[in-house]
C-alpha cells in the first residue's frame, strides 16, 4: 500500500529544456530571422498564456493606481503586462497603447518597447501565428 509520501518524482529536465528550445526556435522562425524583433517578442509576449490569471481590466486598474501614486516602476510593469495580454488577444490598439505607456515610463532602458511599437502590426501577426500553432490562443477580442 502506497500513501503518496516521500520524494516526489522528478521531471526530466532534458525534456523541459527541449520543449523550451522548440518554442524559442519556432518564435525565431516566425520573426523571419529578425534578431531585434525576436528579442522583443521573446521578452514581451507570454510564451505560456495559460499562466495569465489576472484579467486585463484588473491589471489596468492597479496600474493606473500606481501611476496616480507616482510609482513609475510598477506602472511600467503593469503596462508591460497589459501589452503582453494584448499581444495574446491580438488587440493591435492595446499593443500600441500599453507598450507606448510602458515606454514613456522606461525611457531608453527597454529598447524592446520601441521595437514592438515600430512593428506592432507584424508583432500581433507573429503572436497570433505562435498562439495558433501552440494551441494556446484564447478568444480573440
Residue-wise pLDDT tens digits, 1-26: 455 555 555 555 555 556 667 778 88
Q: How many CB atoms lie within 10 A of CB 3?
A: 5
In sequence order, which residues have a C-beta less than 8 Å from that of residue 5 and are 6 or more positions away? none
Q: In whole angstroms, what is the distance from residue 122 CA to residue 102 CA?
A: 19
Query: Per residue in 95-106, pLDDT tens?
Result: 999 999 999 999
Quote the pTM value: 0.80
**DSSP H helical segments within the chain, as ranges?**
13-30, 35-44, 56-69, 72-89, 92-106, 111-118, 120-133
Domain ranges of the chain: 14-133
Grid cell in block for residue 15: 525534456
Q: What is the mean pLDDT of each run of 10 residues along the chain (141 residues)?
A: 53 55 86 92 89 93 97 97 96 97 94 96 96 64 40
pLDDT at 140: 42
Residue 37's φ and ψ, nearest 5 degrees, are: -65, -40
Amino acid at each position: 500500500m502506497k500513501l503518496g509520501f516521500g520524494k516526489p518524482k522528478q521531471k526530466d529536465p532534458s525534456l523541459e529544456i527541449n520543449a523550451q528550445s522548440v518554442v524559442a526556435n519556432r518564435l525565431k522562425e516566425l520573426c523571419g530571422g529578425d534578431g531585434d524583433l525576436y528579442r522583443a517578442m521573446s521578452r514581451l509576449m507570454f510564451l505560456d498564456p495559460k499562466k495569465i490569471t489576472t484579467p486585463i481590466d484588473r491589471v489596468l486598474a492597479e496600474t493606473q493606481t500606481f501611476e496616480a501614486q507616482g510609482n513609475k516602476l510598477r506602472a511600467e510593469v503593469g503596462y508591460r503586462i497589459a501589452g503582453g495580454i494584448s499581444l495574446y488577444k491580438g488587440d493591435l490598439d492595446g499593443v500600441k497603447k500599453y507598450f507606448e505607456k510602458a515606454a514613456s515610463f522606461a525611457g531608453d532602458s527597454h529598447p524592446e518597447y520601441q521595437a514592438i511599437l515600430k512593428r506592432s502590426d507584424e508583432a500581433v501577426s507573429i503572436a497570433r501565428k505562435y498562439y495558433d500553432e501552440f494551441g494556446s490562443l484564447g478568444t480573440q477580442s
